[in-house]
Structure 1
Amino acid sequence: MYQYHFNGSLHEAQGRAADMKLKEPRSLPQVTTAVTLFADIVGYTQHCESLDPEEAFLLLADFYRRTSQATTLHDAAIVDHFGDEVLAVWKGKAPLAVQAFRALRCGFAILVEMERWNAWRAKSNLPAVKAGIGIHAGPVLLGRPYADECHQPSVFGDTVNIASRLERQTRRLGTDIVISEELYRLVAQVAGDTALLDYFPSALSVTLSGRARPLAVRPAIFHPWSMKESA
């Protein structure tokens, strides 16, 4: 017969059990408008097949560091990480069109940084790393999913999901950045120099995974990093 020996008082046991419970949200999320950008390493799983765990970790850490330089430079309000994905969010008092312009410039800056990284990797006889980027704007829920203050606020909702799906479309459309038509129109309101928008001349109607209605999107027609001043 198995016996369970417990050391400690019932009060201590109850305290430990309470600590193990999932913390409830501190408050309901706040509805706001924002611009969301998703970037990830294309073929990260394939990269990992030929890497030791330490090497896979260093690859991811380097990707985080390099994308962080771009998101910081372009004033992203929130930066979150999910595996090999980076989520950057622009929100605040500035008009949404201004936030959209910053996000698009950030997307180009990430690709420029990827080119620099790949130049270094080529000298070290390492394979190139490619990033895919999707950007969308719209309403989001902003809040902390856990009660403790150590977790930064994050965003949730359809706008976030669409940006993630747009990033996945870069594989199907053979490009580096895919933006929504909504984002394109926002940027057009404030972009005095149309060089960035010239990379997105045509709108396509696509049905994103998990969505019933098609969405108008604009893929970049060639590598934006060929024009470094765009970043």
Structure 2
Amino acid sequence: MSETIRILVVDDEPDVEGLITQRFRRSIRKGEMEFVFACDGVEALELLDQDASVAMVLSDINMPRMDGLSLLAHLNELHQDLKTVVVSAYGDLGNIRTAMNRGAFDFVTKPIEFSDLETTIQKTLAYLKEFKELQRQRNEAEMARAALSRYFSPNVVKALSDTSEGLKPGGERREATFLFTDLTGFTHLVENTEPDVIVELLNSYIDGVARIIFAHDGTVMKVIGDAMQATFGAPIDQPSHAADAVACALEIDQFTEEYCAKWKSKGVNLGSTRIGVNTGEAIIGNFGGDSFFDYTAYGDAVNVAARLESANKVLGTRICVSESTVKQIDNFGGRPVGKLRLAGKSGSVTAYEPLSDTQISALDLQAYCEAHELLAAGDVGARQAFAVLVGKMSDDPLTLFHLQRSLAGALDVEIDLSVK
């Protein structure tokens, strides 16, 4: 059943209500139109304050208390969605011109030709219908934009909003950099902490990490509990995706360390965020069909990033990135970790630990790299080199990891993480 159109007629002539009702009786009986009446502008505004269903106003100009021109001024201020058709005599063209300048949609002249009035009403209602449809589409677009902003950076949202090509169903194979995060100790915390504390902690943590990802033009693909998956280089091109992902990882690391310190002061102990980063080709796109939307990525490059995140548990590092990522970054700041044998991989993945400027200045990076070269060459001198480094940097887990391996007889950088 179609919606009944409600029209407010504002006129002080006593016979107008009867004439309008008689002329449009068929439309009224069918429920297509419904008319309400006011004798002047004051009564019209009172009625509109109580009745939000009025779609259009048909108003005379010359009326007591408040004339049609004054009513127009109030309608433009208080009821901007309404469209007003003014009624005036042939000889009153000055008032008609003023009414149109004040926002009247159209006009009819007195004496009223009801066929003209009916045509004008239909034209106005057709415009209103089109206007409401455009408004609905705009609202949907704004809702879609708001939804996109929860997953993509502002730059990506703008690019997707400007084109219809960005998020079409289906996928494509493309190179990108993938980042995985995991907050250590969170599962244990959930089991031993009040729900309201967990909700506050998790919401602010996810929001903080997501903001950092967006600041580096990354895309949040998944949030599973405290773990997050992000992609750099999709859905829009991002030539510096590898460098952006590593810069993002370093900022997330700094954020988490400060975040954990803040919560520790409240008596809540959190672990660090482990991060894995890898660059490679994957199939990226929309999956799930019409009933479910999932913008995600599939491929070995994605799996390697997830495995590198887990590798931090054994290595003692907080960030682990692959050689394929490092090769795309000019002046990479960091140190080699080793050749990692990861679950599901036939070969090894050469991994690095990116370091901030502050971390680099706190470490004897040259001595570490020299010790690592000795270890890679199978030189027994690596043991002594790492022992000396541990003496200098007793709080460096990666150096201690290599020392323990070398003391156990492993004089190489082949680290088997394929079995949990």
How many residue pairs align between the two structures? 191
AA of the residue aligned to 2:344: G
Structure 2 contact 232–238 (Cα < 8 Å) conserved: no
Q: Which residue in the other structure is 2:344 paired with?
A: 210
TM-score normalised to the size of structure 2? 0.42
Q: For the Cα contact (< 8 Å) 1:134–1:167, is it kept in 2?
A: yes
2:259 partner letter: W
Query: What is the identity, as a one-letter code, of the residue corresponding to 1:213?
Result: G
Give how far 1:150 is off.
6.4
Q: For each residue in 1:164-222, what CA deviation from the matched residue of structure 2 results, as whole angstroms up to 9, or x when unmatched?
A: 0000011111011000011011113xxxxx3xx332x22511111222221111134x7
In 2, distance between residues paired with 1:29 and 1:131?
Answer: 30
SS for the counterpart of 1:202 is strand
One-letter code aligned to 1:209: A
3-state SS, counterpart of residue 219 of structure 1: strand
Residue 94, structure 1, aligned to residue 238, structure 2: yes
Distance in structure 1 (CA, Å) of the matches to 2:351 and 2:238: 24
Alignment of structure 1 residues 42-57 onto 2, 5 Å: 42-57=184-199
Contact persistence 1:173–1:219 (CA under 8 A): no
Structure 1 unpaired stretches of 5+: 1-25, 189-193
What code does the residue aligned with 2:192 have? Answer: S
Question: Offset of 1:149 from its aligned partner?
Answer: 7.5
1:63 paired with 2:197, answer: no
Give the alignment's TM-score, normalised by structure 1: 0.74
In 2, Cα distance between equivalents of 1:166 and 1:53: 31
Q: Deviations over 1:130-165 (max 9, x none)?
A: 100000011011122211376252111111111000
Paired residues for 1:49-128 under 5 Å: 49-91=191-233, 92-95=236-239, 98-128=240-270
Shift of 1:225: 8.6
Superposition map of 1:146-161 within 5 A: 146-148=288-290, 151-161=293-303
The answer for the alignment partner of 2:416 in structure 1 is: none
Q: Sort the Cα spacing of 1:226 and 1:124 in 2 relative to 1 into closer, same or farther, 3 A.
A: farther
- 8 Å CA contact 1:111–1:225 kept in 2: the answer is no
Identity %: 23
Once the two structures are overlaid, the 10-residue window that deviates more, 207-216 or 45-54, is 45-54
Question: 117-126 or 107-116: which moved more?
Answer: 117-126
Q: Whose RCO is larger (CA < 8 A, sep 6+)?
A: 1
Give the Cα–Cα distance (whole angstroms) in 1 for the partners of residues 264 and 188 of structure 2.
Answer: 18
CA distance, structure 2, for counterparts of residue 145 and residue 187 of structure 1: 31
Alpha-carbon distance between aligned partners in 2 of 1:70 and 1:27, rounded to the nearest angstrom: 28
- SS of structure 2 residue aligned to 1:79: strand
Deviates more, 1:211-220 or 1:153-162: 211-220
SS in 2 for 1:29: strand
Question: Are residues 1:198 and 2:323 paired?
Answer: no
Task: Note closer, same or farther for the CA distance 1:219–1:36 as it changes in structure 2 (3 Å cut).
Answer: same
CA distance in 2, matches of 1:138, 1:103: 13
Give the CA RMSD over aligned residues: 2.4
Whether the aligned pair in 2 keeps the contact of 1:115 and 1:225 (CA below 8 Å) is no
Partner of 2:368: none
Provide the rounded CA distance (Å) in 2 between the counterparts of 1:49 and 1:40.
Answer: 17
Q: Which residue does 2:172 correspond to in 1?
A: 30
| Distance (whole Å) between structure 2 residues aligned to residue 110 and residue 125 of structure 1 | 22
Aligned to 1:141: 283
Residue type of the alignment partner of 1:162: V
Deviation at 1:226, TM superposition (A): 4.4
- SS, match of residue 30 in structure 1: strand
**Conserved 8 A contact 2:176-2:232:** yes
Q: Would the aligned equivalents of 1:170 and 1:219 in 2 still touch at CA under 8 Å? A: no
Flag the 1:226–1:165 CA change in 2: closer, same or farther, 3 A. same
8 Å CA contact 1:108, 1:225 repeated in 2: no
Q: 1:16 maps to what in 2?
A: none
CA distance in 1, matches of 2:344, 2:194: 34
Q: Distance in 2 between matches of 1:151 and 1:120?
A: 36
1:5 alignment counterpart: none
**Whole-angstrom distance in 1 between the partners of 2:281 and 2:196:** 39
